[in-house]
Structure 1
Amino acid sequence: MEYTHDVIVIGGGAAGLTAAGGCALFGLKTVLIEGHKMGGECLNNGCVPSKALIAAARRAAEAREEKRAGVQLAAPVVEWAGVHKHVHDAIAQIEPHDSVERFEGMGCEVILGWARLTGPKSVEVDGKVLTAPRIVIATGSGPAVPPVEGLDGVPYLTNENLFDLTEQPEHLVIIGGGVIGMEMAQSFCRLGSKVTVINPGELMGRDDRDSVALVKGVMEAEGVRFIDGKAARVSGSAGAITVTTDGGEEIAGSHLLVAVGRKARTEGYGLEELDIELGRNGIKVDARRRTSMKHIYAIGDCREGPRLTHVSGYEGSNVVLEIALGLPAKVDWRALPWCTYTEPEVAQIGMTESEARERYGDKLTVVTEGFDHNDRAIAEGLDQGHCKVMLKGKKVVGASICGVNAGELLLPFTQMITGKTGTFDVGGAVISYPTRVEIVKAAAFKAWEPTVFGTWPKRWVSLLARLRRAF
């Protein structure tokens, strides 16, 4: 058949932008279709606004802190209109990077409209039918809403409308203790709101337990209240909402934030009609991100698998290799990083300690270095936290870091886990002093310490010493 394009990309978030931009730069006739806002969830109501809010909250927390390093700041005055402006200024400043104009400049045709697959190689948008031998679905995800009695009868917040608040919540009740719930709980508390987090089971369930315990303790000291339970019923109206837990406890607040995870956007795109296989929460894909129809790819949050902006970009790049260059590109999650931007931050790459122990048993060695032994952290008076490295022999299989700017310290572990460098190289590297990344060098060297200072090296040293004395 005669095609209108070489590739059709549905969705203008991190995954779709990377795929469409890359294919267009290689000279393929590419069309990018976005049904809402360019930039997707990350730019408009995810990573960018949340980190901007966290920055404002950190500034307030620093001013509220008791005298540190001999310096006492004035008590903070939080102006919510200014916080709101800071958040939306950050979005506006980054927006051009994801704009229609930028991607048209790369050679993409950009259509703002709702796309629907009408055949194995055809897509309809605004009454127009487009065709291509390759189609990429990158429709993202939305906030999951739990089946809580009465929830649909009260106004509640999700990440999609949280950053549009024009007034500061007096008491923010949060259902969910994952990444979004924890980041927003600390931020709103630091900005002056009363905050209660309701969560069944473990907070930040996929993270290192020691790191989470440290963060929870810091947040409780700052004023966040945690309730171990499940939201069973919600009642009330705007400004006066009550959540009742399955244990019968009632929590009354002014605002309610629902943050229990993400749900893949798969409905309304014609997938069911084409019998594209769906999983429990997303499109089923293979290691190359191909759907059950092999010429159709699904990348980013819409497919089953990890939901992170950098993962979306990575998968978008892989799809470009597949479509533009014909190079099969399988995903590799051995060194998958993620970070929760609480203070202290919780950063993870590869396996957690519990995952590594389950897989390797007594073959696993866990090395832990504390920031209370890191000179830069001590000098700054910010020495909470640790770097924990999981080793199978001398090979790194995972690392958990908790501390100031923990996410910035993950890159060396990417190289070690994937075999691009080793613990010996990192342990012997010359790095600037004093820096926090010295903790990574110290942890890497510990993998070799028993060997370097072991029996045979000591015997060699002893022999050399005797020879020098003899001559």
Structure 2
Amino acid sequence: GGAVVEVEGDTLLVATGRRPVVTGLGLEAAGVELEPRSGGIQVDAKLRTTSTGKVPVYAAGDCTGDRQFTHYAGFQGAIAARNALLPLSDPGLLTSVPGCTFTAPEVAKVGLTEAEAKAELGDAKVRVVMTPLSKVDRAIAEGEEEGFIKVVCRESDLKILGATVVAPGAGDIISEFAVAIDRKLKLPQLATIMHVYPAISIAVQQLAAEVYYETLEKSMPLYNVLGKLGL
């Protein structure tokens, strides 16, 4: 029922994804079960498999059927080794993993998309803030104005839930949002962190500053009262 859009190009790339190849490893004999949906090795939050032997078996990376990013596999490999060899344990399955498609411009994402956040929390409890690259000095100077930075927040407190960046160097910029989500930061907090000008990442601070100033305006009645009290 939607509009029909025609797109012309020289080549059509169909990316169907990959499935783990875990046959012939004798996993059944060790009691290691597979995850039905992905076909990967089933692991718990600490990357431990369902092995029934005296020595626990851990799995990490693409063989688990989780998101297939090199950086995520490397992270899981280090965590699996740490959990296997040292006391206590750290989580190896993450809910928020940054990823990037290295096209021109790059497309990077971390956390929830707008649709995912609204499906989980409801439309009224989600706020989306976006700025186009056409407002960023570096992008204008280099003629790279096609793209945007989009941040998904919880409406009540502006906690960052996810972000999408379409821009040159998006794979670098998205890391800031990965840290923000992991540390449960609110979008206005990024306005108080100094960014380098005229890097494209300055757009993150500018976007956050717009929201920060909005919160200040809403608090003006309180500030006026405090001012009259000499505080």
Deviation of residue 345 (structure 1)? 1.1
Residue matched to 1:366: 128
Deviation of residue 367 (structure 1)? 0.5
Q: How many positions carry a matched residue from both structures?
A: 217
After superposition, residues 205-216 of structure 1 pair within 5 angstroms as: none
Q: Which structure ranks higher in relative contact order (CA pairs < 8 Å, sequence separation ≥ 6)?
A: 1
Deviation of residue 334 (structure 1)? 3.7
Partner of residue 291 from structure 1, selected from 45, 49, 53: 49
Percent of matched pairs sharing the same residue: 33
SS at match of 2:58: strand
* Partners of 2:105 and 2:168 within 8 A in 1: yes
SS at match of 1:427: helix
Deviation of residue 224 (structure 1)? 3.3
User: Do residues 389 (structure 1) and 151 (structure 2) align?
Assistant: yes
Deviation of residue 381 (structure 1)? 1.0
Give the Cα separation in 2 of the matches to 1:269 and 1:338.
30
The one-letter code sitting in structure 1 at the alignment partner of 2:136 is N
Partner of residue 198 from structure 2, selected from 430, 434, 443: 434
After superposition, residues 446-461 of structure 1 pair within 5 angstroms as: 446-454=210-218, 456-457=219-220, 460=223
* Partners of 2:80 and 2:92 within 8 A in 1: no
Deviation of residue 275 (structure 1)? 3.4
Residue matched to 1:301: 62
Residue matched to 2:112: 351
Quick check: which has more Rg, 1 or 2? 1
SS at match of 1:296: coil
Residue matched to 1:249: none
Normalization by structure 1: what TM-score? 0.43
Which ranges of structure 2 fall in alignment gaps of 5 or more residues? Answer: none
After superposition, residues 203-282 of structure 1 pair within 5 angstroms as: 220=7, 223-224=9-10, 226=12, 259-280=15-36, 281-282=39-40
Deviation of residue 365 (structure 1)? 0.4
Deviation of residue 423 (structure 1)? 2.9
Give the Cα separation in 1 of the matches to 2:143 and 2:224.
40
* Partners of 2:59 and 2:80 within 8 A in 1: no
What RMSD over aligned residues (CA atoms) do the two structures have, in Å?
Answer: 2.6
User: Do residues 322 (structure 1) and 83 (structure 2) align?
Assistant: yes
Residues 398 and 330 (structure 1), Cα distance of their counterparts in 2 relative to 1, 3 Å cut: same
Partner of residue 413 from structure 1, selected from 156, 177, 197: 177
Residues 281-330 of structure 1: CA distance to partner in whole angstroms, max 9, x if unpaired? 21111111111116001111111311111111111121122123223111
After superposition, residues 32-51 of structure 1 pair within 5 angstroms as: none
* Partners of 2:46 and 2:89 within 8 A in 1: yes
Give the Cα separation in 1 of the matches to 2:57 and 2:93.
20
Give the Cα separation in 1 of the matches to 2:190 and 2:145.
22
1 or 2, which has the higher strand percentage? 1
Give the Cα separation in 1 of the matches to 2:114 and 2:35.
29
Residues 147-199 of structure 1: CA distance to partner in whole angstroms, max 9, x if unpaired? xxxxxxxxxxxxxxxxxxxxxxxxxxxxxxxxxxxxxxxxxxxxxxxxxxxxx
Residues 52-100 of structure 1: CA distance to partner in whole angstroms, max 9, x if unpaired? xxxxxxxxxxxxxxxxxxxxxxxxxxxxxxxxxxxxxxxxxxxxxxxxx
Which ranges of structure 1 fall in alignment gaps of 5 or more residues? Answer: 1-215, 227-256
Residues 421 and 326 (structure 1), Cα distance of their counterparts in 2 relative to 1, 3 Å cut: same
Residues 33-57 of structure 1: CA distance to partner in whole angstroms, max 9, x if unpaired? xxxxxxxxxxxxxxxxxxxxxxxxx
Deviation of residue 371 (structure 1)? 0.5
